[in-house]
Amino acid sequence: MRNQLKAGAVLSYIALFISSVISIIYTPVMLNILGQSEFGLFSLATSTAAFVGVLNFGLGNAVIRYTAKYKALKDEEGCYNLYGMFFIMYGILGIVALIAGIVLSFNSHILFSNSLTGDEIHTLKSLMRILVVNTSVGIGLGLFSVLMLAHEKFIFSKVVGILSSIINPLVMLPFLVMGYGSIGMVVITTIINLTTILINMIYCFKILKIKIRFKALQRGLFKEVIIFSSLIFLNMIIGQIYWSTDQIILGMYSGTVAIAVYSIGVSFSGYFSGFSAGISNVFLSRVTTMVTNKANDSEISELFIRIGRVQFVIISLALSGFIVFGQEFINLWVGRKYHDSFLIAMLILTPMVIPLIQGMGGVILQAKNMHKFKTIVNFALALANVILSIIFVQWWGAIGCALATAISFTIGNIIITNIYYWKKINIDIPKFWFNIFCMSAPFFTSVLLGTITNKLFIADNWLLFFIKILMFIGAYSILMWTTGMNRYEKDLVIVPLKSIIDKFRKQKLHKVS
């Protein structure tokens, strides 16, 4: 199981790296074929349909939590009955999502008629209908992808995700070249997603030997799951308000070009979230087991700090690199007409870093079933974000939306959340920040030296740009290794390398003998 955790974390970063490389290569090609306006329309359809996706009600985390609980209690029969209950719940939610999505797509002209043309609204409705089918089926059969995570089968899950991310653009690009546009994109994405769901189902039944039993519903358990999931559901709504509402507001007030510029800027938040979630997600089952087995606050705090430090090593490299090279990268990547995307990205990423390095906090809250307060606070601030965005968009356009998101994010996910972790969850937040402060010198030094050096050598081609990136990563790595990382973090690098070297030597000796 320990190997699954390590492999899951490693594969998460491999998947993130592959998807990032694909995005770097594929996005400018897609933008060139679609054009700024249709790309903005595609982003608007995706953001609007994403609100239907929250109708999975946060059941995934509930499946993981209660599977871990029943496994800790060695109640196999209870697990099978639990899966039967979740299967029915997922199916009902899938049907609700389909109905809600159809209603939303047929009435989308009410929201966007002021800023979109008749043809754009027609295309938007077609895009949304396909995306709604994709989303509702994904919700209805979503149990099976979660069961692999609940049973800590991270390797298969991540490999399927990696293959999907590779196949998607390879299949999609020829259809774009043939002129199928954004409609072709969402059709292909839907087909690939449905295929992935089928593969997950086969794996669960054939490999994991999962059994789903429909016995009498345990009302107490059902009520407990609803209460637990309803708070996660509210968190999902909050996430959609933070990350998708701005595109909708821009669609109402500014049009497709502003959406395109904003979408490029906000896309970097997805990459940064992946850096954190790649580690945090694989620990939900483990933390739940710790809580079930009555682990003390000190043990949980140490895990929070240890994982937070590892996340900081990775995320601070990404952020410092983006601060130094972000504008240059965007200019080379998608062109100078997306110049404002860098400022949008910086406004969102800067306050976002702290919640990312504290990603284990959310996992701990879920495991302890103590995330109600944070959810309520964030919901109130998400609504404030919408109000601020509507005001700011009329003054500063897309940048105004990003500023509104940054303000609400800082208040809710940094200031209030840290106080709550410290005072109510008994996580040693002062010790956490002392650790981060002690290892932050490489970050600030890299930004300072990188900014000065970068101004001397402006890259006008990808070769020079990547040479500068590699030099920056090398300098950051040396600084972090010598002044920031402790023995545990160094061993995360040294031990796997030693293992690989030992295996290579054994294979070489075996061939010689």
Residues 183-212 have pLDDT tens digits of 999 999 999 999 999 999 999 899 988 888
pLDDT in the model for residue 496: 76
pTM over cut 0.85: no
Query: CA-to-CA distance for 140 and 91, rounded, in angstroms?
Result: 4
Q: How many CB atoms lie within 10 A of CB 417?
A: 22
Query: CA-to-CA distance for 22 and 167, rounded, in angstroms?
Result: 10
pLDDT in the model for residue 190: 92
The answer to whether the CB of 385 falls within 8 A of the CB of 245 is: yes
Q: How many CB atoms lie within 10 A of CB 24?
A: 14
Give me the mean pLDDT over the 232-248 stretch. Answer: 79
pLDDT in the model for residue 7: 66
CB contact set of 277 (below 8 Å; sequence gap of 6+)? 12, 359
Per-residue burial over 300-322, b if 16 or more Cβ lie within 10 Å, else e, is: bbebbbebbbbbbbbbbbbbbbb
Query: CA-to-CA distance for 290 and 296, rounded, in angstroms?
Result: 9
Q: State the pLDDT confidence band at 288, using cuts at 50, 70 and 90.
A: low
The answer to whether the CB of 89 falls within 8 A of the CB of 57 is: yes
Report the range of poorest mean pLDDT among 169-178, 368-377, 423-432.
368-377
Share of the chain above pLDDT 90, in %: 21
Where does 337-428 have alpha helices with state H?
Answer: 340-357, 359-368, 372-410, 417-423
Q: How is 206-220 classified by DSSP, letter by letter?
A: HTS----------HH
pLDDT in the model for residue 109: 83
Summarised one tens digit per residue, pLDDT across range 257-278 is 888 888 888 888 877 776 665 5
**Does residue 424 have a pLDDT over 90?**
no
Phi, psi of 459 (to 5 degrees): -85, 130
**Does residue 323 have a pLDDT over 90?**
yes
pLDDT in the model for residue 430: 92
Question: 404: which 2 tokens?
Answer: 């509104």
Tell me, what DSSP letter sits at residue 218?
-
pLDDT in the model for residue 404: 92
Coil, helix or strand at residue 322: helix
Summarised one tens digit per residue, pLDDT across range 2-14 is 555 566 667 766 7
pLDDT in the model for residue 347: 93
Per-residue burial over 451-488, b if 16 or more Cβ lie within 10 Å, else e, is: eeebeeeebeeeeebeebbeebeebbbebbeeebbeee
Report the range of poorest mean pLDDT among 80-84, 368-372, 481-485.
368-372
pLDDT in the model for residue 271: 73
pLDDT in the model for residue 344: 93
Residue 397 carries which side chain, given as an amino acid letter? G
Q: How far is CA 267 from CA 61, 273, 278, 324, 497, in A?
A: 25, 10, 17, 18, 33
Query: CA-to-CA distance for 270 and 318, rounded, in angstroms?
Result: 12
Distance of CA 236 to the CA centre of its chain: 12
pLDDT in the model for residue 134: 92
CB contact set of 248 (below 8 Å; sequence gap of 6+)? 44, 47, 48, 111
**Does residue 159 have a pLDDT over 90?**
no
Place of tokens 């990382």: 485
Per-residue burial over 118-131, b if 16 or more Cβ lie within 10 Å, else e, is: eebbebbbebbbbb
**Does residue 1 have a pLDDT over 60?**
no
Q: State the pLDDT confidence band at 445, using cuts at 50, 70 and 90.
A: very high
Task: Give the residue, 51 or 140, on which the prediction is more confident.
Answer: 140
pLDDT in the model for residue 436: 92
pLDDT in the model for residue 2: 53
Q: State the pLDDT confidence band at 217, using cuts at 50, 70 and 90.
A: low
pLDDT in the model for residue 455: 78
**Does residue 387 have a pLDDT over 70?**
yes
**Does residue 51 have a pLDDT over 90?**
no
Mean pLDDT of the chain: 84
Give me the mean pLDDT over the 320-337 stretch. Answer: 90
Give me the mean pLDDT over the 383-390 stretch. Answer: 90
Q: Which of 238-242, 370-374, 414-418 has the highest mean pLDDT?
A: 414-418
| Angle 368-11-147 from CA coordinates, rounded to 5° | 50
Q: State the pLDDT confidence band at 248, using cuts at 50, 70 and 90.
A: confident
Give me the mean pLDDT over the 439-449 stretch. Answer: 91
Length, in residues, of the chain = 513
Place of tokens 């946060």: 58
Tell me, what DSSP letter sits at residue 412?
I
